[in-house]
Structure 1
Amino acid sequence: MPRFLIVLSVIYLVMAFYGLQGFKTLFKSVWVQIAYGVFFLAAWLNLIIRVLNYTPGDGVRGQIALAGGIFFSFLMLALVLGIVLLLEDVVRLFVFGYNKISGVADDQTRFFPSRRKFISGIALGIAALPFGALLYGMYKGKYNYKVLKYELEFDDLPEAFDGYQITQISDVHSGSFDNREKVAYGIDLINKQQSDVILFTGDMVNDKAVEMEPWADLFSTLKAKDGKFSILGNHDYGDYTSWPSDDDKTRNLEDLKNLQKEIGFDLLLDTHRYLEKDGQRIALMGVENWGRGGFKKAGDLEKAKKGISKEDFKILMSHDPSHWEDVVIQDDYHFHLTLSGHTHGMQFGVEIPGWVKWSPVKWRYKYWAGVYQELGQFINVNRGFGFIGYPGRVGIWPEITVITLKRKGLT
């Protein structure tokens, strides 16, 4: 068994037992207490069995991902419950010590203070919030598609493209899908936007091209007047799984490229296309993955720029937003709009439009979800269409972005 899983198991079991002490304060029925233990043990044993039967190269999806999600939900329940009870125990210990030192010794203070039912109830109530949210995220949140619409204005947008509509999707991670009806609903929602062009900004699979094959017919139904274009994300290269040989890994990437072509995507590999309308045009560019912090740096912006004028209106597709931060916004070509994904918003956070926008991923990425503007240039970081690892989403829902380009000064 992996060492990290042993450590995690010890923490889990200790905190679950500790939380049981507070649970017993609230529920005196032995059968309810037994049920508490059975559920915790079942979640733990299910994960252990899945890990021990895991085949390297399969990726974190399917039953092992589900087992991990359930285990993590119970772990959060135990941790939050245990932390609140620990704080109460610190107070209980302080009160007991104070009584001893001060010489108070009546029938109520002679013994260690008992756990209070009120505090145990608060602890369980607080712990139930992340527990319930994580379970909801796996049951429904992962397919809770949201259409987010933005209108972006530019001084130099060609007049013919005033009102031009783009639909962006990203991070499909088809290897994690487990509900064809829900995915079909998401595809239909994309088509209902009736955008001029559909742009996909990488991570079609978790690891292998075959993951996309069961879903290819659905994605083939995506339609837009000016076509649909795509780029590669870090997961598309097959770097996070094992391969019998380098040739197999190379063949897998070629299979994925061919599959994207069969679906109808024009895959942009450090190159560009021009979108034309009424005799005017804008440049659409796409680079291979370029990421900071150990992620593949395959993208070649200079190569993609060849044949494009500085005066052209430019839209860049680059999977990782760190590329925009570290390279793109400093480039003298001025990229009007960059479209990225990659972060998923960590699939966990709190968003109340106009009030709160938070996710732990903000500590890793400055630009992690939504539209940002720097140096007169925009980026939209899509929260992702799919999911990976934790088989769900909490607060950060799967996203379909619709961006309308507007020229300033036109009515």
Structure 2
Amino acid sequence: MRWIIFILFYAAINFYSYQAIKTLSKNFWVQALFIGLSLIFLGYFLFYWLQPATGSVFTGKRSVAFGLLLSFMAAEMVLIAFLMGEDIIRTLIFLKNKIVHPEVAHLPGRRKFVSTLALGLAAIPFGSLLYGMFKGKYNYKVLTYEINFPDLPEAFDGYQITQISDVHSGSFDNLKKVKYAIDLINQQKSDAIFFTGDLVNNTADEMEACQELFGELKAKDGVFSVLGNHDYGDYVHWDSPQEKKENLNRLKSIQKQMGWKLLLNEHTYIRKGDAKLAVVGVENWGKGGFVKHGDLDRAAAELSKEEFKILLSHDPSYWQEKIKAHEKEFQLTLSGHTHGMQFGIEIPGWFKWSPVKYRYENWAGLYKEFNRYLYVNRGFGYLAYPGRVGMWPEITVLKLKKASANV
């Protein structure tokens, strides 16, 4: 039934969009091209979406089919917005003439200028989403920040960390591009690397093709990680609870094999002489139906308020819920999860916007409350829509600086 409703909806918006094409050109081949594309995109989408799938999170050709259809429909929605606006004006003019001059009243025709403008503007989301699929998803950006802390141990003044998040390895279709990004991370020569969850989309075996690549990540003080909501296998229909448990254990084992230190509601220390920096990792805790395995109190049970702490928490909603006002004062929290919705507009240092801001208060970049910091990484990989527009895949480099106590 849902497919029938979707097809009827798709047919309706295509019929309406077709009116703009007819206004622009009477050429049969131009009109046929539009109809042909609409049928091809729909057919490609339905073919792959009606195939059996391992998990409910769509990847591979299913996501490509979704991306192509999304691109086409986004363009159509722009067309429809202009057509509806013009049709409202045409109707008002007709009603006015019907009252004033009923004998000559007629519905004005659509103007070619409006259809031309609408089609030109519709090409922007269409082209942007296609670019995001074929280029943008591997358009890695290194974003560098310097953060000052009065209570940072002197020995860690200038300490540099690199954060990546949301790898979603099951989505990759070009490991050469991923290899480039891994090399880019290592080129930063950070003292430590932190990964803040979602290594896979659905199952641990997604890491088979790129385990060796991510095992190449190196930092003097090591690579530390936590689990994200996708890592638990919750989006797969398992034959038994034991099978699901084995999948999670395998994912944990993979991280160990890669040389990563996986923190499961626990903490460890990075030491420099007598000075130390606590690295705390909580399991996923998220609002809105996401799993809540995170236990901050357990992870920090043996830590004092005075110790300098870096907390890894996949979902930034936990920062708002509990972390930012916690009595033990977590000076820096690193999160991911939002992907910046893989779509947005950003002018660094001036302006950033994405629809995801209406879902998450903290969704990308650096935030500060109660003299504590949160950084939300925009994500390394991609999910569902197989691309990125404006919110490019991110490698974050943070330099920690010792500030004077009165700053």
Tell me if both proteins adopt one fold, taking TM over 0.5 as the criterion.
Answer: yes
Look up the equivalent residue of 1:295 and give its one-letter code: F
Q: Distance in 1 between matches of 2:400 and 2:226?
A: 21
CA contact (8 A) 1:57 1:243 kept: no
Q: Distance in 1 between matches of 2:52 and 2:387?
A: 20
Aligned to 1:36: 34
Q: Secondary structure at the match of 1:12?
A: helix
CA contact (8 A) 1:329 1:375 kept: yes
Aligned to 1:323: 318
Q: Distance in 2 between matches of 1:195 and 1:43?
A: 45
Residue 256 (structure 2) pairs with residue 274 (structure 1): no
Matching of residues 326-405 of structure 1 within 5 Å: 326-405=321-400
Which whole-Å deviations, capped at 9, do the CAs of 1:190-209 have from their partners, x for residues lacking one? 11111000000000000100
Q: Distance in 2 between matches of 1:8 and 1:239?
A: 27
Which whole-Å deviations, capped at 9, do the CAs of 1:86-143 have from their partners, x for residues lacking one? 11011111112212211175xxx65321110100011111211111111111011111
Instruction: Structure 2 unaligned segments of length 5 or more: list them.
Output: none
Residue 290 (structure 2) pairs with residue 292 (structure 1): no
Look up the equivalent residue of 2:192 and give its one-letter code: V
Aligned to 2:142: 147
Q: Distance in 2 between matches of 1:311 and 1:131?
A: 52
How far 1:27 moved relative to its partner? 2.1
- Greater mean alpha carbon deviation, residues 24-33 or residues 385-394: 24-33
Residue 232 (structure 2) pairs with residue 234 (structure 1): no
Q: Distance in 2 between matches of 1:333 and 1:140?
A: 43
Q: Distance in 1 between matches of 2:53 and 2:367?
A: 41
Q: Secondary structure at the match of 2:183?
A: helix
How far 1:166 moved relative to its partner? 0.3
- Mark the CA change 1:135 to 1:47 in structure 2 (over 3 Å): closer, same or farther: same
CA contact (8 A) 1:153 1:405 kept: yes
CA contact (8 A) 2:56 2:235 kept: no
How far 1:13 moved relative to its partner? 1.6
How far 1:57 moved relative to its partner? 2.6
**CA root-mean-square deviation:** 1.3
Q: Distance in 1 between matches of 2:127 and 2:239?
A: 41
Residue 323 (structure 2) pairs with residue 314 (structure 1): no
Match of 1:215 among 202, 210, 231: 210
Q: Secondary structure at the match of 1:150?
A: strand
CA contact (8 A) 2:283 2:313 kept: yes
Look up the equivalent residue of 2:89 and give its one-letter code: V
Residue 181 (structure 2) pairs with residue 186 (structure 1): yes
Match of 1:97 among 70, 95, 98: 95
CA contact (8 A) 2:67 2:133 kept: yes
CA contact (8 A) 1:201 1:317 kept: yes
Q: Secondary structure at the match of 2:208?
A: helix
Residue 130 (structure 2) pairs with residue 135 (structure 1): yes
Q: Secondary structure at the match of 2:209?
A: helix
How far 1:51 moved relative to its partner? 1.5
Look up the equivalent residue of 1:53 and give its one-letter code: Q
How many residues end up aligned between the 2 structures?
Answer: 405
Aligned to 1:48: 46
Which whole-Å deviations, capped at 9, do the CAs of 1:317-358 have from their partners, x for residues lacking one? 010101111011121000000000001111111111233211
Q: Distance in 2 between matches of 1:409 and 1:155?
A: 5
How far 1:58 moved relative to its partner? 6.6
Look up the equivalent residue of 1:27 and give its one-letter code: S
- Greater mean alpha carbon deviation, residues 112-121 or residues 347-356: 347-356
Which whole-Å deviations, capped at 9, do the CAs of 1:337-396 have from their partners, x for residues lacking one? 000000111111111123321111111110000000000100000000001111111111
Look up the equivalent residue of 2:17 and give its one-letter code: G
Which whole-Å deviations, capped at 9, do the CAs of 1:68-101 have from their partners, x for residues lacking one? 1101111111121112101101111111221221
Q: Secondary structure at the match of 2:320?
A: helix
CA contact (8 A) 1:351 1:358 kept: yes
How far 1:59 moved relative to its partner? 3.6
Q: Secondary structure at the match of 1:401?
A: strand
Q: Distance in 2 between matches of 1:44 and 1:70?
A: 9
How far 1:21 moved relative to its partner? 1.1
- Mark the CA change 1:157 to 1:378 in structure 2 (over 3 Å): closer, same or farther: same
Aligned-residue sequence identity (percent) comes to: 55
CA contact (8 A) 1:16 1:82 kept: no
Residue 172 (structure 2) pairs with residue 174 (structure 1): no
Q: Secondary structure at the match of 2:324?
A: helix
Residue 255 (structure 2) pairs with residue 260 (structure 1): yes
Residue 117 (structure 2) pairs with residue 122 (structure 1): yes
Aligned to 1:60: 58
Q: Distance in 2 between matches of 1:299 and 1:231?
A: 10
How far 1:9 moved relative to its partner? 2.3
Look up the equivalent residue of 1:382 and give its one-letter code: N
Q: Distance in 2 between matches of 1:133 and 1:332?
A: 45
Look up the equivalent residue of 1:62 and give its one-letter code: G
How far 1:279 moved relative to its partner? 2.5
Q: Distance in 2 between matches of 1:393 and 1:215?
A: 21
Q: Distance in 1 between matches of 2:314 and 2:297?
A: 16
Q: TM-score, normalised by structure 1?
A: 0.96
